[in-house]
Amino acid sequence: MEKADKVAKIEPVQLGLKSRFKFKCHPKVKCFTHCCRGINIILTPYDIIRLKNRLGVSSEQFLAIYTTPQILEKTDLAVVTLKLMDDDQQSCPFVRDDGCLVYSDRPTTCRYYPLGVATLSHKEATAEEGFFFFVNEPHCLGFEEDQEWDIAQWRRDQGVDRHDEINAEWTELLVRKRSFPANIKITEQGKRMFFMASYNIDTFRQFIFESSFLKRYEIDPPTIAQIKSDEIALLKFGMRWLKWLLFKEGEFKLRSPS
């Protein structure tokens, strides 16, 4: 995780899935939970679904209580970051002395740490969006431990493969927008739709089922049934719709006016 005030100073050394490193994090390291304070954690759509379900709140409530929106550089699109506590150390709201209160549902960035992913974290990455780097923070003593990994093993161990697979279409939208010339703009309406479909899944569900959406678009009945009951299917549907709405790619058919 990145220190909030040092985001621009990271100079990533490119690592691939086979790059090896020594690292172990456990409650006995002297720095235990130091990395959960003064941090900048961008939340992915799947992170928000996991956390809001874990906490038993709606996505609207989760966004209001736990997040701060910010524009992701070179995309003109909003991402949300975890809102830190107003204490001396700017702690994550979920950190306790004995560890993370939401550990099994912790965000993707926390799972990757001490690695960062270029797509979201390295602002200058344009050509190669998929590489990894070490978030070299001096307080982290995990690198002095003896356990050896390659990056693919670390990803499996931390459960990020599933997170990345579910977030893949959202990540692709950000990468796509970042690669566009700066003068190609997304409308304010398009930005609002991006925010809702990406982060506010409960409101997006209401938008689909309680507005004229299903009258305007031809969506087949099995898809309607699936997105009604399955949040991940709804999220992926939303990403396909955004791709069509923002970039005119993929298949979305408007009904002809009767």
Structure tokens at 29: 């390291």
Binding interface with ligand SF4 (CB under 6 A):
1, 25, 29, 31-36, 39, 92, 94-95, 100, 102, 106-107, 110, 113-114, 139-142
CB of 190 to ligand SF4, least distance (A): 30
CB of 39 to ligand SF4, least distance (A): 6
- Are 157 and 165 contacting, i.e. CB atoms less than 8 angstroms apart? no
Identify the three-state secondary structure at position 159. coil
Query: With respect to ligand SF4, which residue has the nearer C-beta, 30 or 215?
Result: 30
Which element (helix H / strand E) includes 63? helix 59-66
Length of the chain: 258
Q: CA-to-CA distance for 153 and 63, rounded, in angstroms? A: 32
Query: With respect to ligand SF4, which residue has the nearer C-beta, 23 or 204?
Result: 23
CB of 144 to ligand SF4, least distance (A): 9
Structure tokens at 43: 């939340």
Query: With respect to ligand SF4, which residue has the nearer C-beta, 148 or 249?
Result: 148
CB of 25 to ligand SF4, least distance (A): 3
Q: CA-to-CA distance for 114 and 143, rounded, in angstroms? A: 9
Query: With respect to ligand SF4, which residue has the nearer C-beta, 90 or 226?
Result: 90
CB of 71 to ligand SF4, least distance (A): 22
Query: With respect to ligand SF4, which residue has the nearer C-beta, 37 or 236?
Result: 37
Q: CA-to-CA distance for 235 and 226, rounded, in angstroms? A: 11
Helix 59-66 / helix 45-55 crossing angle, nearest 10 deg: 100
Total Cβ atoms within 10 A of residue 49: 21
